[in-house]
Structure 1
Amino acid sequence: MGRRRLGLALLTVVAIAGGGVAVTALTGPRTPAPDRTDGKGLPPATAPVTRGDLADSTRQDGTLGHLGERKINAGGPGGTLTWLAPPGSVVRRDERLYEVDGEAVRLMYGDEPMYRTLRTGDKGKDVRQLEENLAALGYTGFDVDEEYTAKTAAAVKRWQKAHDLKQTGTLGPDRIAFAGSAVRVKETGSGSGAGSGGGGRVATGDRATPGSPVLTVTGSEKVVSFKVPAAQAGSAKRGTRVQVTLPDGTRLPGRVSAVGRTATAGEDPQDRTPKIDITVSFDEPAKAEGVDQSPVTVDLTGTTRRDVLSVPVNALLALPDGGFGVQVVEDGAARDVRVELGMFAQGRVEVSGGGLRAGMKVGVPS
């Protein structure tokens, strides 16, 4: 009949500028297709024409972990470590990070480090941070600003009383440490070597000196990190929707939350292509269970065509006079219908023309 079933090799994809539509040049073995086998011109199998959204996507290998590793250093005059938040635990606002000589150092939220003892008359961003934390904990009666007033000191005294501390109205690095949010304890000390004071892991009974690492922490929420070639960075912009497949097969939705600004060569000596770091945050982080540094896959949703008709790619026919068509099966008969092609994605192709409608059956190989 002079018509051939298309091979499945997709050799070239050309994006039509501005339309987000991909037209694909399809080539393959031009051999007669065994799609008419019952003597009535009917295909061996059919598939429905469907209407809906069609989205292309790319798949990347990623790693499940936590974001933002940093050190918590000892403050105050130093002493003996009598308690440490255990690795794997999450420490939130006003909870203990560690204890020195039985006295707790607690976490407060903020980007400025706790570098001095705050008292009435002090001014600065660290004052505002402290006041924001006191207000978040329910202490009132002062203005949240950059000035440590007598009212601020009174709120600090109430906080001290709640923790069975001497009510001085002053507060320093021997009592609190700042971090941007809740933290997850990765390990004690700086994470390598042994002993205290000069770095390495620490344990209760070790001596804590001012400025020495006590804990290594990360952000508390699970995230996924991966790299994409710099040339493909447009496929992973901030806000891009993704589906993450965990090691146990669970699929969770998320979005790209951070994109690196600097491209660097990978560690693979066989692939020195400059790549950019991408971070994905989950819509529901609590569901992202799994061991740190475990491998995951990330499907990034690219261009989406809304409310279009599509058929399986293997339903396409190469027509004898050029162009493409599908074999529509209706009322026990088959006819060839010329179609215009749009996006290829998810094993399907967008089609239009020929009076096609959702629910029609088109021929496919068995």
Structure 2
Amino acid sequence: MTTAATAVAVAATGGWFAWRRPGGATPAAAGVPTTTAKVTKIDLSNSTLVSGALGYRGDYTIVPRGEGGTLTALPDPGKVINRNEPVYEVDNKPVRLFYADRPAFRPFAAGMTAGPDVRALEENLKALGYLSTADATFSSATTTAIKRWQRATGQTINGRIDPGEVIFQPGPIRINTVTGKVGSDLHPGEPLLTATSTTAVVTITVPAGQTYLVHAGDTVTVTLPDQRKVTGKVLYLSPVADQAQQDNGRDGQVTVPGIVTLDDPQVGSNLDRAPVQVAITAATVTGVLAVPVTALVALAGGGYGVYKRNGAQRTLLGVTTGLFSDTMVEVRGDGLQEGDDVEVPSS
């Protein structure tokens, strides 16, 4: 809720009405049950609560290459596959995962021209400990590194890698769907698997009327289904709104989708598609004086005040309000300090 909106709500429903000017002692109001609360020095945050769902960043389609064969092994949905691990097998030969931002499109062998695909291959061989340096040129050191890799993984040692012997993806993958079947023929060029990254994210749904409260970079607190709270940031908010369709065919609420990244991207890795609540923090202040929102009273001349209590003495002090949270409000005013008692409704 914004500061202005909260102030209006307090004046209309939740606060006190003091149609007088601040500064003097006033008698206790008759017939209004009251108690007191302390003026505290705290950190306050202004948050917007939206719904979301856990998922994974990125969508990848694995399209096999090569000359075909028989599918002899396939991964199960949900399996995580890392560099150099088999993704699937053709004729009992594992097809292994290498990391790269683009797919391999030609055989790797001595005499090939330089290119970014060569650099990607060499960076993988280096990461696996088979090559000391990586560049974009296929050299004799590259051939030697391939042979070392082939020996270590039980392959035919020939110093070349043909299409279909490895697949390149941007990083570790988590298998989503499997369209092939063990024992069937492999059809190069046809999708075999779909996968995502292993980085958990939250897809949020923001009501269109609240998008002005949400910005890329805002910090968030995500409440998981087991009530754990984890932190993250708003990565992206779509410029395009969606309108849900209700079961009766009528148009539903207009919302805007967005993505939240988690500070610990593995924290929700076993909770795919689980619903979550996301509190998006738009503003934060630290070490400010604050009172319960219900301590505010509307002043006759405009603005707000609080009743400071000192035993039986009751003094109305004008205050300037700052950031509002769900239950507390930042206040500044002469004669008010940490530890003072202010009057609030008792219920």
The answer to whether the aligner puts 1:130 opposite 2:121 as a matched pair is yes
User: AA paired with 2:334?
Assistant: G
1:242-281 correspondence runs (5 A)? 242-260=220-238, 262-268=239-245, 270-271=251-252, 273=254, 275=256, 277-281=257-261
1:165-314 correspondence runs (5 A)? 165-189=155-179, 202-228=180-206, 233=211, 235-260=213-238, 262-268=239-245, 270-271=251-252, 273=254, 275=256, 277-288=257-268, 290-314=270-294
The size of the alignment, in residue pairs, is: 332
1:346 is aligned, of 326, 331, 335, to: 326
C-alpha change, 1:60 and 1:133, in structure 2 (3 Å) is same
Is residue 10–residue 294 contact of structure 2 (8 Å, CA) maintained in 1?
Answer: no
Q: Provide the C-alpha distance between the structure 1 equivalents of 2:189 and 2:294, rounded to a whole number of angstroms.
A: 66
C-alpha change, 1:53 and 1:111, in structure 2 (3 Å) is same
TM-aligned CA deviation for residue 271 of structure 1: 4.4
C-alpha change, 1:304 and 1:57, in structure 2 (3 Å) is same
The answer to whether the aligner puts 1:328 opposite 2:308 as a matched pair is yes
Q: Which runs of 5+ in 2 are unaligned?
A: 19-26
Task: Specify the alignment match of 1:80 in structure 2.
Answer: 70
Q: Provide the C-alpha distance between the structure 2 equivalents of 1:325 and 1:357, rounded to a whole number of angstroms.
A: 14
User: AA paired with 1:125?
Assistant: P
Return the TM-score normalized by structure 1: 0.82
Q: Provide the C-alpha distance between the structure 2 equivalents of 1:176 and 1:218, rounded to a whole number of angstroms.
A: 18
In the TM superposition, what whole-angstrom CA distance separates every residue of 1:13-32 from its partner, at most 9, and x where no partner exists?
549xxxxxx96575336998
Q: Which runs of 5+ in 1 are unaligned?
A: 1-9, 16-21, 190-201
Q: Provide the C-alpha distance between the structure 2 equivalents of 1:287 and 1:207, rounded to a whole number of angstroms.
A: 38
User: AA paired with 1:266?
Assistant: Q
1:142-153 correspondence runs (5 A)? 143-153=133-143
In the TM superposition, what whole-angstrom CA distance separates every residue of 1:239-285 from its partner, at most 9, and x where no partner exists?
3210011122221111123444x41433335247473x321121123
Q: Provide the C-alpha distance between the structure 2 equivalents of 1:99 and 1:91, rounded to a whole number of angstroms.
A: 14
User: AA paired with 2:244?
Assistant: E
